[in-house]
Amino acid sequence: MSVSLSVLKRNAKLQGWYEDIEERKSLNMSIEEWCKSRGYAKSTYYFRQRKVLLALEEQLNKKEASVEFAALPAPEEARSQARPENKIVLRRGELILEIPDGTSRETIQAILDAMKC
């Protein structure tokens, strides 16, 4: 899958804006204070915030469309098949996500991208 240069530039710009928004939040600054310290107009901040949120929503909608479900073993089968399993455990706040061994790189990347929001 080839990605055009314009898409890469757009994504880099959105990533930078996202990082700016997260920085402001982590510094616990008001939007007005943060914009003044950066020399931005508040309208620029809100424009960028809206663009980032729209991009995130677009990505989540794409991922929701490609969700696949798999059959799970019945509880008794699961107990009889119990064995140590390699897995990745991700924690963010109260969210705990376990990714089983063998999960595709694309799926893991999609999960990590979704957890950034």
How high is the pLDDT of residue 42? Answer: 93
pLDDT value at residue 81: 57
pTM score, two decimals?
Answer: 0.50
Q: Is 1-67 assigned to CATH 2.60.120? A: no
pLDDT in tens, 47-99: 999 999 988 888 887 766 666 667 777 676 555 555 556 887 877 777 777 88
Name the residue ranges covered by the structural domains of the chain. 1-67, 71-117
The answer on pLDDT for 1 being more than 90 is no
And the tokens for 53? 């949120």
- Average pLDDT over the chain reads 80
pLDDT tens digit sequence for 8-61: 888 889 888 899 999 999 999 999 999 999 998 999 999 999 999 988 888 887
Q: How many CB atoms lie within 10 A of CB 26?
A: 8
Tokens 């969210």 map to which residue?
95
